[in-house]
Amino acid sequence: MNIADLRKSYEKAELNENASHADPLQQFAQWLQEAIAADVPEPNAMTLATVASNLRPSTRVVLIKGYDERGIVWYTNYDSRKGQELAGNPFAALQFHWVELERVVRIEGRVEKVSDEESDTYFHSRPLDSRIGAWASPQSQVIDGRTVLVTNAAKYAAQFMLNPPRPPHWGGYRLVPDNWQFWQGRKSRLHDRLRYTQEGSGWLRERLAP
């Protein structure tokens, strides 16, 4: 099959100004809960885009670990490529793609680190293997092979036993949104697309052509 011939007709739902929330966080919360209820595979997975000092963008998939009026939270290694890029340019974009529901959410904004207390609380809620893994993996660095990870994991497991502390290079980020977009697939490629941009203490909701 010619890949250019792969097509799908989007006909599951619609998104309009009257039925959507005036607050994008409420709209996001509704869609996320609907994705979870629909048993969408990994509904908490989101693509994170950052830009390096040389202006080259990069993306990777991370998992949302919290959201409220302050923003969207995930956790990672601060020394990783994304951590280094965010240190130099603290703006990023997130994207959720719930294929089965024919929905996409895009979020843009400034990124900040969460408090040490928040990072500690989440870190200690993780399974033991994941806590050891945070010490064992020099994320984004070149290593000689998987043996490096296995050896590191064994070393830190022996050192910390059942109580590994949170590594100083590991913690949370929060994206503080100033732009949201909600996309609902529609028939004939006439998709629904609503954008929310920050306007004072509220949000301006507009429809964009697909």
So which residues are the catalytic ones?
A: 189
Exposure letters 137-158 (e unless 16+ CB within 10 A, then b) = bebeeeeeeeeeeeebbeebbe
HSE-CB at 146 with a 13 A cutoff on CA atoms is 0
CA 207 – CA 210 distance, rounded (Å): 9
CA 93 – CA 50 distance, rounded (Å): 7
